[in-house]
Amino acid sequence: MRGRVSGDGDLLIEGSIEGDITLRGDLTLIGGARATSNVEAQAVTVQGELDGDILARGVVRIEAGARVHGDVRGELVAIEDGAEFNGRLDADFDLPPELTGTAGTGRRR
């Protein structure tokens, strides 16, 4: 499929798509599926292959066997062992005190 996709609900991609995806709900790209898309959604789960940037208001999961080539930004980002990620990562996370020099929260970009 080619073209822009937008909507208020969730989307499950089982084939291939070229074009930007903007959702109020969640996006799941299953294993074997391929997207050449910039994605904006509540939560994003990648099991297949995505070429493009991800902007999630919630969680981004890149599962084992998945491939993501693009920048990822999310409230929480989880990249499983066996996943391939090539891009920049922008997420909040806590650094241990020995890495920050203080007992506070760090922000890394």
pLDDT tens, residue by residue, 45-91: 999 999 999 999 999 999 999 999 999 999 999 999 999 999 999 87
pTM of the model: 0.84
For residue 98, what pLDDT band results from cuts at 50, 70 and 90?
confident
> Cα(90)–Cα(33) distance, rounded to whole angstroms?
25
The first and second tokens of residue 21, run together, are 């995806």
**Residues contacting residue 71 through CB under 8 Å, at least 6 positions apart:** 53, 54, 87, 88, 89, 90
Domain boundaries, the chain: 5-108
Q: What is the total residue count of the chain?
A: 109
Nearest 5°: the CA angle 68, 69, 71 is: 95
